[in-house]
Amino acid sequence: MNKIVSIEEAISHIKDGMTIMIGGFLGCGSPHRLIDALVEKGVKDLTLICNDSGFPEIGSGKLVVNRQIKKLIASHIGTNRETGNQMNAGEMEVVLVPQGTLAEQVRAGGSGLGGFLTPTGVGTVVEEGKEKIEIDGKTYLLELPLRADVALIAGHTVDKFGNIVYHGATRNFNNLMATAADLVIVEAEEIVEVGAIDPNHVVTPGIFVDYIVGGGK
Amino acid sequence: MDKKEFIARRVAKELKDGDVVNLGIGLPTMVANHVPEGINVYFQSENGFIGLGPAPEEGNEDPYIVNAGAQCVTILPGGAFFDSSTSFGIIRGGHVDITVLGALQVDEKGNLANWMIPGKMVPGMGGAMDLVTGAKKVIVAMEHTVKGNHKILKECNLPLTAAGEVNLIITEMGVIEVTDKGLVLKEINPEYTIEEVQAATEAELIIDENLKKMEI
């Protein structure tokens, strides 16, 4: 089974109106080449789930600037002025989610959980419309899982089966999003043969990955 | 000395050997420069590692090792990288001893508002709600007032980051503890009088019986 495809072929699976996840934290660990190809292709009306909307010139923020996003689910939008502009103008719906809740929603979505209980957001606007559940005298919010049609993630060293090793602080949402979408595309810094990665070092197992695009090296 | 520098130095005195610490962006980040000698703390960076070290020397930057403000930093020997779920498990699970954040408003019930001004500024909460909810000790480090306006209030009127989670407020004027009875002024900067501190504070301050001089 050959998972290695061209960037064009990989993003041909992304259609107007889909829900996509993009890994990265302010662009660190984002699949930059896939994002650029998506900007070029111009698919629109996307629902985007990501930690933040990056910067106008870096990361998933480029898709916002290019007006391809209908709805954004993120924890932070402060570094991309365009996100705020489109939100205030009513051109893009923005759902702000505490970062830990967002991470856990993605994790829940990828691991078969129907939701989870978190104390984060109790007593704030985040609790609006959510069920509150008390356990041992402490109040929690019921938060529901998130899934996507396609996840675009970035890995450092990726073998041809899709096993991923990360570098530095790039794991962030990548490792979680790999589990939570119907189709998972990883952009590899370097593609290596199966067996070249010590199984002890694999962070994201290859079974989660559908397509691999490479490779800087 | 610069006000922010003074505040950061005083916050640093709260750190204890072995603490896991998360510092917010801006003034709180400066605390890392003043860790008391002989004390070892572990700085957590919510984007996915522990063992956050100082900025790298020019030319030695690794673009994949950045802090939660996307600035190049380093990771110290003994550090570890992890994904965002583990990172917030650390935060929400009570494994962070101290978090230091700035505030737009903080009130006498320990409520904190620091993530949005409706209609003006909506950057999002990022990791702040989880940090304030999950950390064992929440320290607000900020200038006492903004453009002469009160920030320490009877009741916050901006959207909250978390309800009743703040433990300590450290400003250039003093150190204030949030208690069941209200805000207790524990230390005062000798450059100010109690009356001046109270005038700069909307909430009523309870003056601690053993009010101390604020020292750095």
Cα–Cα distance for residue pair B212/B210, rounded to 1 Å: 6
pLDDT score recorded for residue A216: 58
Where in chain A does DSSP place strands (E)? Answer: 19-22, 46-49, 69-74, 93-96, 116-118, 132-135, 138-143, 148-159, 164-165, 181-192, 211-213
Q: Which residue of B has its CA nearest to A103?
A: B85
Give the nearest partner residue to A175 out of B83, B91, B130, using CB atoms: B83
CA distance linking residue B159 with residue A133, whole number of Å:
22
Give the pLDDT score at A215.
Answer: 65
- In this prediction, residue B93 carries a pLDDT of 97
CA-atom Rg of chain B in angstroms = 17
Query: Taking 60 as the threshold, does the pLDDT of residue B89 lie above it?
Result: yes
Interface test with A, best of B47, B86, B122 (most A CBs within 10 A): B47
Pair of tokens at residue A126: 């985040």
> What's residue B121's pLDDT?
86
Residue B152 has pLDDT above 80, yes or no: yes
CB contact under 8 A, A29 and B46: no
Closest to A203 measured CA to CA, from A17, A5, A77, A29: A29
Distances in Å between the alpha carbon of B117 and those of A1, A114, A198, B109, B161?
A: 52, 33, 49, 20, 12
Instruction: Calculate the average pLDDT of chain A.
Output: 97
CA distance B147 to chain A (A): 22
Indicate the fold that domain B3-43+94-213 takes in CATH: Glutaconate Coenzyme A-transferase (3.40.1080)
Q: Quote the CA–CA distance of B106 and B143 in Å, as a whole number.
A: 12
Domains and CATH numbers, chain A: 7-115+144-213 (3.40.1080.10)
* Pick from B75, B126, B134: CB nearest A76: B126
| β-bridge pairing A19-22 and A46-49 | parallel
CB pairs under 8 A between A and B: 146
* pLDDT at residue A204, rounded to an integer: 98
Phi, psi of B81 (to 5 degrees): -100, 150
Is the confidence at residue B106, as pLDDT, over 80? yes
Given a cut of 50, the residues of chain A with pLDDT beneath it are none
| Least confident interval from B54-58, B129-133, B139-143 | B54-58
Residue B76 has pLDDT above 60, yes or no: yes
**pLDDT for B120:** 87
Q: What is the pLDDT of residues B185-199, one digit of tens each?
A: 999 999 999 999 999
Tell me the pLDDT tens digit for each residue of B199-208: 999 999 999 9
Query: DSSP 3-state assignment of A105?
Result: helix
What ipTM did this prediction achieve?
Answer: 0.96
